[in-house]
Structure 1
């Protein structure tokens, strides 16, 4: 009877160690994924900070052309 209890305790402790190894593997995987995501986020933020905004210049040019077009139409109406 005493040997059976010791055997059960031994099996229980082995199962716990296997569970801890699996938990540690998952924890390491999540930590690596988190670190990669953090580095990628920082790299993107630095890129957006230093990259010029070409669209802003385009919108300004488009607005100027758009305004010129309507000013031309207003001039044509005044002449008639």
Structure 2
């Protein structure tokens, strides 16, 4: 007797919201404004928010694996304007 095939569609697994970058968060919006939204996941994984980011040095960003160009953009964007 041949095996019966199920006519059900395969289940799709949904991604948890925490695994998605949060563009609506202040940090996500900040990174998006610089064209750096792809780094949102890195900051989320390290639990960095805008308050923490303001205290980070270029060395801190380098330790997170952020390349030089994006590091410079972030540091310059966080500098107080005269």
The answer to whether TM tops 0.5 is no
TM-score normalised over the length of structure 1: 0.27
Structure possessing the higher relative contact order (Cα contacts under 8 Å, 6 or more residues apart): 2
Larger radius of gyration: 1
